[in-house]
Structure 1
């Protein structure tokens, strides 16, 4: 038995477990809801995160994106289509493929601008999307550069699922969520936050209070680019 056959054997064993199956449904519903909601906002012509100031780095980006006309609508349609495809059992694999490049782009954008609104959710959505892609490996494996496929066909729903609880897997899920939240809270010395008051709160009663307040004003009052405000903050803290 080669490595590919061993993987297929493990894969079909996992697919036959009720807890993994329920988790896949949770991922599908969560991802679908997020994109259908966000997509409908764009299709209706409203600016996403409309309460975010245009001086904020993400607010400036979203404001510019809102004025791209039919491109903005196109993004919304793509998100809604991806969400709907995830809701239909026969099209989950296609939906996961369409969803993936969009959510990766959102994740990188959120990380680049340190946007609090999706700093935690976007990486978790990427991981959930990856889970669905692996979950549908039996349908997607023919797209992979694999020369010799195993004889196993597409997984068929069993008459009775295994009820063995995968403790290690769900422990890893909980740890991943906790680490993602902790990283968002403590991974950076300065976060722009969504408002001037929230931004300043992170620096209250700290040794970087003055530099931090200047950073927040640089973002939320002066409307300067994030990189320039961060450079000013780093220079002030070094001094």
Structure 2
């Protein structure tokens, strides 16, 4: 009944709608649509599958990646691998998070636990110009979608008055396919993939060969070759190598 009253008010007084009321109306409609629900399930499973392999590797005590030690991220993983049971603790946390995400009743707790983990990973790979920035960005966005999906349960710990939110519960609504929403999803995915390609003027790649092979298409092949040598042969920090590359390129 409350939802019906809300929707009647929103239709009758469209110019008086508060921003939160607009968002509440959209949220109520989305929660009753099976396609949004399917997408939430897809995000849960996708996030869980992203955490399971890395969690198992850490629990087994193996090094997480095959990145060479002189790679910027390789430095980090070498140090992390040598932290003993802290390394195992991180892996256990990732596996527990994955399991919680796979179980519908505990999915909210899993989404809350996953957010600081994937946010930390996302910032890390961007800081080190890792090639995996695209997938981690998409995982972070999927996590944010899940937090929005469970807003009806999270709202009680947020600094909003319930009256301002204008909703208490939702009822099944139209199951019409939300073309605009999924069009936006596709556009965001494309923007992440394409944008990451132009984000940095140079990256270390995942190996010395990958780094040097990319120098052919670089605006300054000689400076690029020196950058790769700086990373993989001399083992200098990424910031130092980037500064040397930009200096050689006249930037």
Alignment TM-score, normalising by the size of structure 1: 0.92
* 2:142 pairs with 1:134: no
Q: Deviation string for 1:176-201 (max 9, x for gaps)?
A: 11111112222211100011111122
2:249 matched residue in structure 1: 237
Extract unaligned runs of 5+ from structure 2: 1-8, 10-16
Could you tell me whether the CA contact under 8 Å between 1:139 and 1:154 is conserved in 2? Answer: no
| Residue number in structure 2 paired with 1:103 | 118
Cα separation, 2, equivalents of 1:136 and 1:205:
46
Q: For residue 180 of structure 2, what is the aligned residue in structure 1?
A: 168
Distance 1:143 1:210 in 2: 55
Is the 2:115–2:143 Cα contact (8 Å) retained in structure 1?
A: yes
Partner of 2:190: 178
**8 Å CA contact 2:44, 2:101 repeated in 1:** yes
Report the structure number with the largest CA radius of gyration. Answer: 2
1:110-149 map, 5 Å: 110-116=125-131, 118-149=132-163
Which whole-Å CA distance do the structure 2 matches of 1:24 and 1:222 have between them? 46
Does structure 1 conserve the Cα–Cα contact (< 8 Å) formed by 2:212 and 2:225?
Answer: yes
- Is the CA contact (8 Å cut-off) linking 1:58 and 1:113 kept in structure 2? yes
User: Residue 185 and residue 5 in structure 1: after superposition, are their counterparts in 2 closer, same or farther (change >3 A)?
Assistant: closer
Contact preservation (8 Å) 1:193, 1:199: yes
Q: Residues of 2 paired with 1:77 and 1:190: CA distance?
A: 35
Inter-CA distance 35–206: structure 2 relative to 1 (3 Å threshold): closer
When residues 215 and 65 of structure 1 are mapped into structure 2, their CA distance, relative to the original with a 3 A threshold, is same
State the Cα deviation string for residues 127-172 of structure 1 (Å, max 9, x = none).
100000000001110010113345744557x4xx633111111111
Q: Which has the higher helix share?
A: 2
Q: In the alignment, which of 85, 90, 93 is matched to residue 108 of structure 2?
A: 93
- More off after superposition, 143-152 vs 131-140: 143-152
Please point out which of 29, 46, 56 is paired with 1:40: 56
* Offset at residue 203 of structure 1 (A): 1.8
Instruction: Give distance in 2, aligned partners of 1:155 and 1:92.
Output: 19
Per the alignment, residue 25 of structure 2 pairs with: 9
**What's the counterpart of residue 69 of structure 1?**
84
**Within 2, Cα distance between the matches of 1:204 and 1:79?**
39
Q: Is the contact made by 2:218 and 2:224 (CA closer than 8 Å) also made in structure 1?
A: no
Please point out which of 227, 238, 245 is paired with 1:215.
Answer: 227
Q: How many residues align?
A: 234
